[in-house]
Amino acid sequence: MRIEMLVFDGVDEMDVMGPFEVWSHARRRPEFDMALVGLDGPVEVTGLHGLQFKAPEGLGTPDALFVPGGGWMNRAETGSWAEARRGVMTARIAELAPTLSLITSVCTGAMLLAEAGLLKGRPATTNRGAWAELEAFGADLKTNRVVDDGDLITAGGVTSGIDLALYVVERVCGADAADGIAGALEYTRDRDVYIAAGN
């Protein structure tokens, strides 16, 4: 499985770097691949807290998509709120969604999925500061750290992205692989996962 991590100016650095660390370990396995991508091609990103980093590729046609957040609650000039207002990213996500086997988000990345029309009637979570807004989009809010609705997995605020990433590894590569990566990172997994019926 190839998962592309969509990054943009104003993204919360921890939303990206936690899962990136986990999936960097996982891509040593033949069944897992991962890349940082910009919406329209390679891009240099300045995160919410000023960290600069590069995404060497553009969004392609992956098996799975990961959408982080940042800058939603304070309506920042860059970040998930700004991208939702611009509308280009959400339209591209909506267009790509039917081709994906898995869509994932952490924090207010879920709000970009909601703006793309992907969460109505589905169990999902986001940063607790945006719970009410997520419900207003018609999502079935769950307050668990990770929410699994089959081809949609969302996670709560910031550090919960690490648990989401490990959970994805467990689904793709098995529990031993995920636990091994958690051990290598000296990270204690939080297993507060809501799994929707039938999944």
Closest by CA to 103, choosing from 64, 156, 60, 58, is 64
Provide the strand spans (E) within 110-159. 123-124, 140-141, 146-148, 152-155
60-106 confidence digits (pLDDT tens): 999 999 999 999 999 999 999 999 999 999 999 999 999 999 999 99
Please name each of the domains of the chain with its CATH number: 2-195 (3.40.50.880)
Catalytic residues: 107
Token pair for 52:
């600069």
β-bridge pairing 140-141 and 146-148: unpaired
Encode the chain (199 residues) as per-residue pLDDT tens digits.
Answer: 999 999 999 999 999 999 999 999 999 999 999 999 999 999 999 999 999 999 999 999 999 999 999 999 999 999 999 999 999 999 999 999 999 999 999 999 999 999 999 999 999 999 999 999 999 999 999 999 999 999 999 999 999 999 999 999 999 999 999 999 999 999 999 999 999 988 8
Report pLDDT for 198.
Answer: 85
Torsion of CA 55, 13, 15, 41, to 10 degrees: -20
Write the single-letter amino acid at 137: F
Instruction: Find the helix or strand (DSSP H, E) in which 1 lies.
Output: none
Cα 138–168–66 angle (5° rounding)? 55
